[in-house]
Amino acid sequence: MRTTGNTILITGGGSGIGRGLAEAFHALGNHIIIAGRRQQALDETTAANPGVTSLTLDIGDPANIRSFAAELAARHPALNVLINNAGIMRFEKLRAQADDPADAEALVTTNLLGPIRLTAALLPLLEKQPYSAIMNVSSGLAFVPMAPTPTYCATKAAIHSYTQSLRYQLQGTAIEVLELIPPYVATHLLDGAADPRAMPLDQFIAEAMEILKTQPDVTEICVENVKRLRFAAESGHYDSVFRGLNDAMRDPSH
C-alpha cells in the first residue's frame, strides 16, 4: 500500500485503533477524514491533529451511509483510500439469549453490513482514482474465536472472507485490498485499555505502519502478537490455541 500522498477515510477514527491509524497516516502527510457516530470523539481527535477533518456517520444506517458517501464524494473527490475500522464488541450468553437477539443483530449490522454497504457506496469513487486502496480491519479472533463474544468473532471471520473475495474481484483494477488483523490491543473495546495482557496501542500502530512501509505489496498486516491466532490452523495447533484462549477467559485469576 502506498503510505503517502493519499486522501484517506477512516471509520471509527475518533478513538482506539482508528484514531491511532489516523494520526500515523496524518504524520506521513496524508489528508485524513475520520468518521463516526460520537461527535465528541471526532472533535477531540481533530483538535489534537490540525488538518484532520471529520464527518459524522452512523455505520448501522443504510440511508445514512448513502447520504454520507454522496457528501464525501462532493467534498473530497480525491478520496482514494477507505479504511473500514468501525466496530463494536459485546459479550453474549447464548443460552440466555432473548427471542429478539438485539445484541447479535447490532454486531452484524455494525461490523459486517456496515463495511459492506460503505464499500459498495464508495467503490465508484475509488475506481475513478489512478490509485486506490481498501483496508478492512478484522481481528485475530476471526481465526480463533473467543467464545464469550461469538457474534463479534463471527463478523470478523466474515470480514476476512469478504476481503478475500473483494481482492479477487478487483484484480486488474487500480484498487489494492488489504486486511489489518489486530491482536488484543489496549483500547476501550470491552474496556481493554487497562488490561496488562493487551498490546499497547502505540506499539501496535508503530509495528503495523512499519509493515506497510517496508512491505508495500503486503495484503495481510499481521504484527507478531497476532500470528499465534492468525496461523493457528496452519501450524496444526488450533485446538490448543482455542482451549488456551477460552480457558483463560473462564479463569478469574487471568
- Give the catalytic positions in this structure: 152
Which residues, at least 6 apart from 90, have a Cβ–Cβ distance to it below 8 Å? 103, 106, 107, 149, 151, 152, 190
Residue 251: count other Cβ atoms within 10 Å of its Cβ: 8
Q: Helix (H, G, I), strand (E, B), or coil: what is residue 133?
A: strand
Backbone angles phi, psi at 11, to 5 degrees: -80, 150
How far is 31 from 5, CA to CA, in rounded Å?
8
Question: C-alpha dihedral over 80, 203, 196, 247, to 10 degrees?
Answer: 60
How far is 89 from 111, CA to CA, in rounded Å?
9
Q: Number of helices (H) and strands (E), helices first, in the chain?
A: 10, 7
How far is 98 from 112, CA to CA, in rounded Å?
22
Half-sphere exposure of 128 (CA within 13 A, CB side): 8
Backbone angles phi, psi at 146, to 5 degrees: -95, 110
Nearest to 142 by CA among 120, 112, 118: 112
